[in-house]
Amino acid sequence: MEATTFILFGATGDLAKRKIYPALYNLYLDGKLPKAFSVFGLGRRELTGDAFRANVEQSLRNFSRREANDTASVRQFLDAFRYSVLDIGRTEDYLKLLRLVEQREQELGAAPNRMFYLSVGPEFFETIADNIKASGLGSADGWKRLMIEKPFGHDLQSARDLNRNLSRAFEEDEVFRIDHYLGKPMVQKLEILQSSNPVLQTLWTNRHIANVQITANETVGVEERAGYYDHVGAVRDMFQNHMLQLLMMLAIHLPNNHSTSDEVRTKKKKVMEALMPVLKEDVARSIIRGQYAEGEINGKPVVGYTSEPGIAENSANDTFIAAKLEIDDYFWRGVPFYIRTGKRMKEKSTRIVIEFKEPLNQHALTEEESRVPNLLVFEISPNEGITLQLNTRDPLHKGEFKPMHIDFHTSQEDVPEAYENLIHDALNGDPTFFAHWDEVELAWKWVQPVLDAFQENLVPLRTYAAGSYGPVESDELLERDGFRWRFDSKHEQQEKKEGTHYAYHVNH
Ligand SMILES: NC(=O)C1=CN([C@@H]2O[C@H](COP(=O)(O)OP(=O)(O)OC[C@H]3O[C@@H](n4cnc5c(N)ncnc54)[C@H](OP(=O)(O)O)[C@@H]3O)[C@@H](O)[C@H]2O)C=CC1
Ligand SMILES: O=C1O[C@H](COP(=O)(O)O)[C@@H](O)[C@H](O)[C@H]1O
């Protein structure tokens, strides 16, 4: 791997502490960092190098998936870390940083390859990019890359403006837009599972699939992010990025088992282009918008959204969204994709369920028998696994017709965290699991009429009790088409109680 200087804006912030340092540490333990590797942490706070390294060490102790007790290896890891005070708007701070970076590269005899990671609010992105260019930090004789966090814009126009402005300093192939759902191991496997298994490849069409359900439910509420969340809602916070990325990753059809990043991203773009647009006037028919009221999570009472600290008591912000989408292409025409995401839901679960069409069913003895569909379930988090629901007869119960579950689960301890995968890919210059501008723009384009309809109150805001599965209208969205949400724990327990369960557990 090529020598790299990792320049981290927002090094004193929450994301750096909870995600970036632990990810770098685990990459280091796995031997996945370049030999010549330095980190320059930046922030306004006055910190000595030692104080900064102590903060990083604390973050490893608190948040790393592997223990940071081996003092020698932690010390060696921290050796790579430097801190420099930098105010984003002050050009002289960039010149000082340039001198420090050059000095360090010379000490190491390292090529001037520079990774700029912007772990700061989006309002700073353009200023930083311009200052990187103006100071010469971005003009060395090596590569330069820009990693940026979400949100990428607030709507279609602001995203376009941001992209145009960033492109003054960075080319598209130098920009690595993070969508951390693309770093989740099961999401990364979707592509290879489909493209390297003829069984799945054959089934991956509207001939066999009745519908696809994509869920990302959380039990947490707005937490300490009222100021941010109340302006974005579930539609911008989760739907426009993570949920549409999951849809793209599921719906792509790849030619073979060695697809290049260009092929993957081109196919994702094709999926977005084929997504049937929704008109502002029609949004209410295919989108359910919800907000949590008070309720119970894991047996404990919790307040409703508008009683959360920092949220206006008349806020009409969405904390839940369910949607029906259709892809108008050869493979998916006629297959509804149902997407659902919400805060303060019954359980934390991110998953994709593929419901297969009923068989011809000439042997079904009862109406009930004909209603048990085959399901293929990808559990993305908090547990990772794949479940296949098949039908069988139970010889112990008079040959009753029953579903059988075949489960494959991986042990969570050793699964790399999303940020590890993404930082590793970016260090290697592999953009496969980063959002290309074309995808981001098409996603905003699809979402814009939804934002407009919400803004103009064309879509009723439904309430749901905290700790439920969302508004009843979300169930009705599927019931209208003869379906229901699958594999919520209430259904899963029911189905598992009735059926046989086969588990296949893998420790890596
Ligand atoms: N936290 C999370 O879980 C997630 C965060 N994100 C995104 O990541 C980004 C960072 O979030 P988070 O870490 O939570 O934010 P924090 O508010 O915790 O940290 C902000 C960082 O920005 C620095 N900063 C702010 N203003 C300036 C300035 N004028 N000059 C120099 N540095 C400045 C702060 O340093 P100092 O105070 O020392 O100046 C601090 O290090 C945001 O874009 C957020 O949307 C995305 C997904 C999840
Ligand atoms: O990006 C975000 O994601 C988290 C949920 O991520 P997960 O990995 O825990 O599923 C969400 O809580 C947050 O609001 C959003 O900004």
Q: What is the 3-state secondary structure (H, E, C) of 65-83?
A: CCCCCCHHHHHHHHCCEEE
Percent of the chain surpassing pLDDT 90? 80
Q: By alpha-carbon position, which residue is closest to atom 33 of ligand 1?
A: 43
Q: Tell me whether 0.95 is exceeded by the ipTM.
A: yes
Helix, strand, coil share (%) of the chain residues, nearest 5: 40, 25, 35
Pocket-forming residues, ligand 2, beta carbon under 6 Å? 216, 218, 237-238, 350, 381
The pTM of the full predicted model, rounded to 2 decimals, is: 0.94
Buried b (16+ CB within 10 A) or exposed e, 92-117: ebbeebbeebeebbeeeebbbbbbbb
Q: 472 CA to middle of ligand 1, Å?
A: 37
Active-site entry in 231, 242, 491, 508: 242
Q: What pairs with residue 345 in β-bridges?
A: 468
User: What is the pLDDT, as a whole number, of residue 394?
Assistant: 73
Which ligand is closest to the CA of 150, given by its number? Answer: 1
Amino acid at 53: R
Mean local confidence (pLDDT), 276-296:
98
Pocket-forming residues, ligand 1, beta carbon under 6 Å? 10-16, 43-45, 86-88, 119-122, 149-150
Percent of the chain surpassing pLDDT 70? 92
Of the candidates 348, 340, 341, which has an alpha carbon nearest to the alpha carbon of residue 297? 348
Mean local confidence (pLDDT), 403-432:
89
- 92 marked among binding-site residues: no
Buried b (16+ CB within 10 A) or exposed e, 348-380: ebbbbbbbeeeeeeeebeeeeebebbbbbbbbb
- Bridging pattern class, strands 37-43 and 4-9: parallel
Residue among 42, 91, 119 to mutate when testing ligand 1 (max atoms within 8 A of CB): 119
Q: pLDDT (tens digit, 9 = 90+) per residue, 269-284?
A: 999 999 999 999 999 9
Using a 10 angstrom Cβ sphere, with 0-12 exposed, 13-18 middle and 19 or more buried, the burial of residue 238 is buried
For 378-446, the three-class secondary structure string (H helix, E strand, C coil) is EEEECCCEEEEEEEEEEHHHCCEEEEEEEEEEECCCCCCCHHHHHHHHHHCCCCCCCCCHHHHHHHHHH
Q: Which residue has the higher pLDDT, 92 or 503?
A: 92
Residue 306: CA atoms inside 13 Å, Cβ hemisphere, count? 13
Residue among 178, 218, 225, 236 to mutate when testing ligand 2 (max atoms within 8 A of CB): 218
Mean local confidence (pLDDT), 161-177:
97
Q: pLDDT (tens digit, 9 = 90+) per residue, 378-395?
A: 999 998 999 999 888 777
Mean local confidence (pLDDT), 282-294:
98
Q: pLDDT (tens digit, 9 = 90+) per residue, 33-63?
A: 999 999 999 999 999 999 999 999 999 999 9
Tokens 């103006």, residue located = 134
Q: 124 CA to middle of ligand 1, Å?
A: 10
- Is 501 a catalytic site residue? no
Look over the chain and give the mean of its residue pLDDT values, rounded to a whole number: 92
- Number of C-beta neighbours around residue 274 at 10 A: 16
Asked if the model's pLDDT at residue 501 lies above 70, the reply is no
Contact 100, 63 (CB under 8 A): no
